[in-house]
Structure 1
Amino acid sequence: MAMMDLLSAEEIKAAVGAFSAAESFCHKKFFEIVGLKKKSPEDVKKVFHILDKDRSGFIEEDELKFVLQGFTPTGRVLSDKETKTLLAAGDKDGDGKIGIDEFITLVVES
């Protein structure tokens, strides 16, 4: 499954474009612009599985760095600071990674 199967190309382009400048990423605004907030929990789970590149059942810090590229290959790489901020926002149990339930919470509460 591809991201374009779940989200519109226009919304993806707008969301990734809104955060093209370094140190500008805000997950709350990103999830809203890309249309993920209005999706069902099942669709959010599908997005999680796309972002979980190594199929570990978690999105680790090294995968978070490339979260924008998970939506489109032209997305930029997040800075270390942005990556750590996103991880801190999503990692509710403190294990250093974001599980599927944590990801759903991150999207819904954003």
Structure 2
Amino acid sequence: MSMTDVLAAADISKAVGAFAAPDSFSHKKFFEMVGLKAKSKDDMKKVFQILDQDASGFIEEEELCLILKGFAANGRTLSAKETKDLLNAGDKDGDGKIGVEEFVAMVAEC
């Protein structure tokens, strides 16, 4: 499954491009621009599975920094600060990673 099976390619391109500058990433704006916020919980889970590159059931810090690349190959790597901010926004139980339910909640609250 690819991201374009769930989200529109034009929305992905526009959203990834909007955060091309270093230290410009805002997960709230990104999830809204890419169209994920308007999707069903099942679609959010599908996106989670794509971003969970090692299929561990969690998106760890190493995967979070590559979140834009998960949406589009030309996406940039997040800075350490952006990655930490994203982890802090999604990691509700403090285990240092984001589970599927935490991801869905983070997207929904944007």
Shorter-chain-normalised TM-score: which range? Answer: over 0.9
Which whole-Å CA distance do the structure 1 matches of 2:75 and 2:17 have between them?
Answer: 8
1:100 correspondence with 2:100: yes
Matched residue, 1:13: 13
What's the offset of the Cα at 1:74? 0.3
Which whole-Å CA distance do the structure 1 matches of 2:100 and 2:7 have between them?
Answer: 19
Q: Secondary structure at the match of 2:29?
A: helix
Residue-pair matches, total? 110
Which whole-Å CA distance do the structure 2 matches of 1:5 and 1:55 have between them?
Answer: 18
Q: What TM-score, normalized by structure 1, do the two folds share?
A: 0.99
Q: What TM-score, normalized by structure 2, do the two folds share?
A: 0.99
Structure 1: gaps of 5 or more residues? none
Q: Which ranges of 4 or more aligned residues in structure 1 deviate by more than 2 Å?
A: none
2:28 maps to amino acid: K
Matched residue, 1:90: 90
Identity across the alignment (%): 65
Matched residue, 2:25: 25
Structure 2: gaps of 5 or more residues? none
Which whole-Å CA distance do the structure 1 matches of 2:17 and 2:72 have between them?
Answer: 10
Q: Secondary structure at the match of 1:56?
A: coil
Q: Secondary structure at the match of 2:59?
A: strand
Which whole-Å CA distance do the structure 2 matches of 1:33 and 1:7 have between them?
Answer: 11
Q: Secondary structure at the match of 2:75?
A: coil
Alignment of 1:40-79 (within 5 A): 40-79=40-79
